[in-house]
Amino acid sequence: MSIFRKQYAAIAGIALLMLALQASAGVNKSVKVPDGGTADGASSVNGSVTVGTYATIGGDLETVNGSIRIGEGTTLRDAGTVNGSLRVGNSVRARNLETVNGKIQVGADVTVEGEVTAVNGKIEIQNGSQVARNVENVNGQIELSGARVSGSLTTVNGSVYVVDGAIVRGDLQVRKPNRWGWNMRKKPKVVIGPGSRVEGVIDLEQEVELYISDTAEVGGVTGVMSLDDARRFSGDRP
């Protein structure tokens, strides 16, 4: 399933949540779960969802117009918002993380059993974190700093940084954007930093500024560019 279809499904699901909560007095209120607390899940429409440290959430965290904050050491299922950011503390365990319009920040040593996806938003995943499947967005930078992604990493209009020994076991894909505004766009930048690896190929459907460290490893470059087009560099960043 493409990122677009997945996000449309996410929007539809959260829209149903909105309808279900319309009669509730808490529809416009923020929801909080305290440190060490337990809950079956937490939902809002026009409010934020905040979970303290080392909490146990048996279900999902959902909101439409609001941010989601998850404290260190918490366990949950899915976390999703339409218009809002998603911030995940260190050592959290979750299934899927997704937003439509907002940034996703994932701390250190986090385990994501599924995917991390956004449409319009930056994605940052920190050292020691692991994503079992894919990391995807359309608009916004993606940065893996010492993290590991077992699936593929995909964007359309965002720059990509795989740095600090990060590993992508699948492909790194930069898709071709829509024709509208094609000639006015700045080229995305793809940086594979020292000690980092892309075990699949870097699959480019558009030209990018491609930088690969002298100590990085990639499985090849395909599409509209080749490995010969990459600019090699030494040091932490080009």
* pLDDT per position as a tens digit, 34-88: 999 999 999 888 899 999 999 999 999 999 899 999 999 999 999 999 899 999 9
Enter the tokens of residue 26.
Answer: 């808490």
What pLDDT, in 10s, does the model give residues 134-157? 999 999 999 999 999 999 999 999
* Cβ-proximal residues to 24 (8 Å cutoff; 6+ apart), any chain: none
**DSSP symbol at 155:** E
DSSP track, 71-138: -TT-B-S-EEEEES-EEE-TT-EES-EEEEES-EEE-TT-EESS-EEEEES-EEE-TT-EESS-EE-S
Residue 28 is predicted with a pLDDT of: 74
State the pLDDT at residue 45.
86
The reported pLDDT for the residue numbered 4 is 47
- Per-residue pLDDT tens over the stretch 175-212: 998 765 555 568 999 999 999 999 999 999 999 999 99
pLDDT at residue 167 above 80?
yes
